Each structure stands twice: as C-alpha cells, then as structure tokens.
Amino acid sequence: MMLIPIHKEMTCEALSALVSSRALEVIVAANCKQDSPRGQLGHDEYHFDNSAIEEGLRYINEQRGFIMASLLSASAISAWIAFGRLTHTVQDFYAHTNYVSLWLDAHAQNDTLPAPPEIDPVQKSLIESPKLCSGRVYFPLDMLYFIPFLRKLSLALLPRDSHGWMNLDSPEQGSLFKYARFAAVKRTQYEFELLRNILTPEMFAKFIDL
Ligand SMILES: [Zn+2]
C-alpha cells in the first residue's frame, strides 16, 4: 500500500537505465497492479502485511521461478510481469515491516543515525531476526485510515501494532520514510543484479530487451 505513484517512481529510478522502455512499462504496470482492490484482500504476501514474512519471502522466490520459466519458454512479457510483482513485494517490505527500525537500532552510533542512503537492504541477520514483524491490518479501522479526514480518528483507535501506525508508505510518515525509500530502490536493483547472476546470458539479454 505504499502509494502507487511512489512505487512507480522508485521502480523507474532503479531500472530505467537497465532495461528497455517497453520492459520497464510492463514491469511498472504489474508492480502497481498489486495494490488494486483485488490485490489487497487476502494477499498479505504481496505486501508483507500482518507479519506474513515467510509467505512474502516465498512469494518473491516463486516470482523468480516464473521469470526463469517464462524466459526459457515463450516471451519476455510474462517474465517482466513476474518481475513487476516481485519488485512490489520487495518494496513493500521496507514500508510495512520494522526492518528500517531494526537496521537503525543496529547501526546508530551513540545518538547519531547513519544517513538514509547508507541503508543496507539485505542485512541477513535482520531479515532472519525473530524481531522482524509488520503492521497488522485491523478491519475496518485500517481502511478508514485511508480516508484523509478520518485518519486522525482511526489512528486514535488503532493499536500501535497496526498498519496505520507502523507503515512507512509516504513522506508524511516522518523521517524513517527516506530510509524505506532508499532501501526499496536499492533492493529493486539488487533483485535485477540477482537475475544477471542466475540467468544465462541469452535469457538475460531477452529480459533486458535492449
Ligand atoms: Zn502493496
């Protein structure tokens, strides 16, 4: 539920120099589609909601599998779509879990915090930490949170472990948003580099389409 324009912006920023413009267009569309109403209900794994950490990680792996299978068989388009879905989920990871807070706790020197661009998006000990969790979606309060004039009221009623309190979906959420955004862009590029490493040169060329 990171705002759709932010998903689009981050994906373009991460990939525009790396894949063809038609590949980018398909990737961005598939990424943003995950936040449609149909992609919201009953799909915690798309967005790392409700502490669906394992499910989210499994979903990311499945998309990597789809990318490989698609490039082995027919067109690159289904590979781009799968990569779009994957990038959405990895981006939501930083906005919906407490990864950013855990990373800052681990790297703060006295009272000085590292700058947002320094965030390491894949610190294994944190991804595997038992402390990692994400916001719980409470119905219907977490839905009312999205209606601007009801936001204050819903926050007053929502528990602290809710999506409403925990999310880093937009700059309005304060100083931690910047860390989540840098982590999301870096992770998107990290996933691209991972494909470069696991695909054959022919499959990779088909994927980048340049
Ligand atoms: Zn989402």
Distance 188 CA to ligand 1 centre (A): 14
- Whole-Å CA distances, 208 to 23, 91, 121: 7, 20, 23
Task: Supply the pTM of this predicted model.
Answer: 0.94
pLDDT at 105: 95
C-beta atoms surrounding 119 within 10 Å: 23
Q: How far is ligand 1, taken at its centre, from the CA of residue 48, in Å?
A: 8
**pLDDT (0 to 100) of residue 2:** 64
**Ranges of residues in the chain whose predicted pLDDT is under 50:** none
Whole-number Å distance between alpha carbons of 24 and 81: 10
C-alpha to C-alpha distance for 165 and 155, rounded to whole angstroms? 7
Q: How far is the CA of 145 from the centre of ligand 1 (A)?
A: 15
- The rounded Cα 101 to chain-centroid distance in angstroms is 16
Task: Quote the tokens at residue 162.
Answer: 């809710």
Q: In this predicted structure, what is the pLDDT of residue 140?
A: 87
Compute, in angstroms, the gap from residue 39 CA to the centroid of ligand 1.
8
Tell me how far the alpha carbon of residue 9 is from its chain's centroid: 13
**Å from CA of 34 to ligand 1 middle:** 6
For residue 200, the Cα-to-chain-centroid distance in whole angstroms is: 26
Q: Kindly tell me the number of DSSP H helices and DSSP E strands found in the chain.
A: 13, 0
Cα angle 131, 87, 129; round to 5: 10
Q: What is the mean pLDDT of the chain?
A: 95
* Gap from CA of 75 to ligand 1 centroid (Å): 26
pLDDT at 3: 78
> What is the tens place of the pLDDT at every residue in 11-49?
999 999 999 999 999 999 999 999 998 898 899 999 999
How many angstroms separate the alpha carbon of residue 107 from the centre of ligand 1?
A: 27
Residues 209, 22: contact at Cβ < 8 Å?
A: yes
pLDDT of 75 reads 81
The DSSP 8-state label assigned to residue 48 in this structure reads T
**83 CA distance to ligand 1 centroid (A)?**
14
Residue 35 alpha carbon to ligand 1 centre in Å: 5
Residues less than 5 Å from ion ligand 1, measured at CB: 1, 35, 47, 92
Two tokens, residue 11: 């994906």
Q: What is the pLDDT of residue 41?
A: 83
Tell me how far the alpha carbon of residue 111 lies from the centroid of ligand 1, in angstroms.
Answer: 32
